[in-house]
Structure 1
Amino acid sequence: MNADGPAPGDRGQDVRWNQSFTADDLAALRQALRHHAGRAGLNDDALDDLCMAAHELITNALRHGGGYGEVELRRDADTIVCQVIDQGPGFTASPDDLQRPPAHVAGGRGLWLARQLTHHLTLEHRSNGVTASVAMHLTNSHSAPAASATCPPHCTRREPRRDI
């Protein structure tokens, strides 16, 4: 295993990690998230993409979700899932509604970017906040993953975009 993930061909380890956070924890949180996602089996572009997507979810929790939250990273079979839980007022958008904001608009790209960089984005609206989850599949198959708690039956596998 190298510093950013497993060696080529290495399947990674089962990982379950969670941590509460505030804005003061952001730099250390990013480093810890990258470390654990690498241990779980992500490397190269996939590791960068998951970390960037998670960073967008975390900063949304800080900015719109009460200023604090909890992040959880886990490996479910061949899928790495990162959940960010906040206590904010929530919103009504679904991942399918997310559009790229016009270039002249400041902000508003976090969830859209997280969706573009990962295979799956889920937004769970709760009475006391939002749980935003992104998932990256470790397999090279282009077929849809099996139905699970990670990807519901309607989940279709999307390849992360490289043209953003």
Structure 2
Amino acid sequence: MTVAPPTALAPAAPAPGPAHAPASAAAARSSVRDLLRRAGVSLDSVTAADVLLVTSELVTNAIRHGGGLAAFHIEITDDALLLSVADTNPDPPLPRTGTPDRPGGYGWPLVQRLADRVDVRSHGGGKTISAELRLA
């Protein structure tokens, strides 16, 4: 994985409907694990941790800060995992600093650091954040 700033990425179209929106970050991670297994993709431990952490952070942020998870889409290309998360808040994510009484603020910077490409697009009724993570 690169630590260079991510470049623009055309978002994968989120699959519509509640059946495609996991109820939790844990369910989203499970979906990613299942897809990788079905595709026969074997990852080293660092890449696997990065993929699952980005998945978890994007879904958690949609639930906590984005008004709820509206859609979730994952797909594997030749050498990458494409992940799109849609929520109901059109505002882009903003970095924030945690405080002792309100910890946090690490998720969005982690996503930007770990993903090879990130794209945020506002649309009627919310936004879609897409991330690409190389698997090889």
TM-score in terms of structure 2 length: 0.69
Aligned residue identity for 1:138 = L
- Taking the TM superposition and a 5 Å limit, the aligned residue runs for 1:120-159 are 120-139=117-136
- Give the C-alpha shift of residue 69 in structure 1: 2.3
SS at match of 1:111: helix
- Give the C-alpha shift of residue 58 in structure 1: 0.2
Distance 1:134 1:53 in 2: 8
SS at match of 1:84: strand
Distance 1:42 1:110 in 2: 25
Identity value in percent: 27
Distance 1:138 1:38 in 2: 13
Aligned to 1:145: none
Range moving further from structure 2, 53-62 or 84-93: 84-93
Distance 1:92 1:53 in 2: 14
- Give the C-alpha shift of residue 131 in structure 1: 0.8
Change in CA separation of 1:38 and 1:135 when aligned onto 2, cut-off 3 Å: farther
Aligned to 2:34: 35
By relative contact order (CA 8 Å, sep 6+), the higher-ranking structure is 2
Provide the alpha-carbon RMSD of the alignment.
2.7
Unaligned 5+ runs, structure 2: 1-13
Distance 1:107 1:51 in 2: 18
Aligned to 2:85: 84
Distance 2:50 2:106 in 1: 15
Aligned to 1:142: none
Change in CA separation of 1:119 and 1:28 when aligned onto 2, cut-off 3 Å: same
Pick the aligned partner of 2:105 from 85, 104, 108. Answer: 108
Q: Is the 8 A contact 1:37 1:73 kept in 2?
A: no
Change in CA separation of 1:38 and 1:115 when aligned onto 2, cut-off 3 Å: farther
SS at match of 1:21: coil
Q: How many residue pairs are counted as aligned between the two chains? A: 116
- Taking the TM superposition and a 5 Å limit, the aligned residue runs for 1:9-88 are 19-22=20-23, 25-40=24-39, 41-43=41-43, 44-88=45-89
Distance 1:111 1:82 in 2: 15
Q: Is the 8 A contact 1:56 1:114 kept in 2?
A: yes
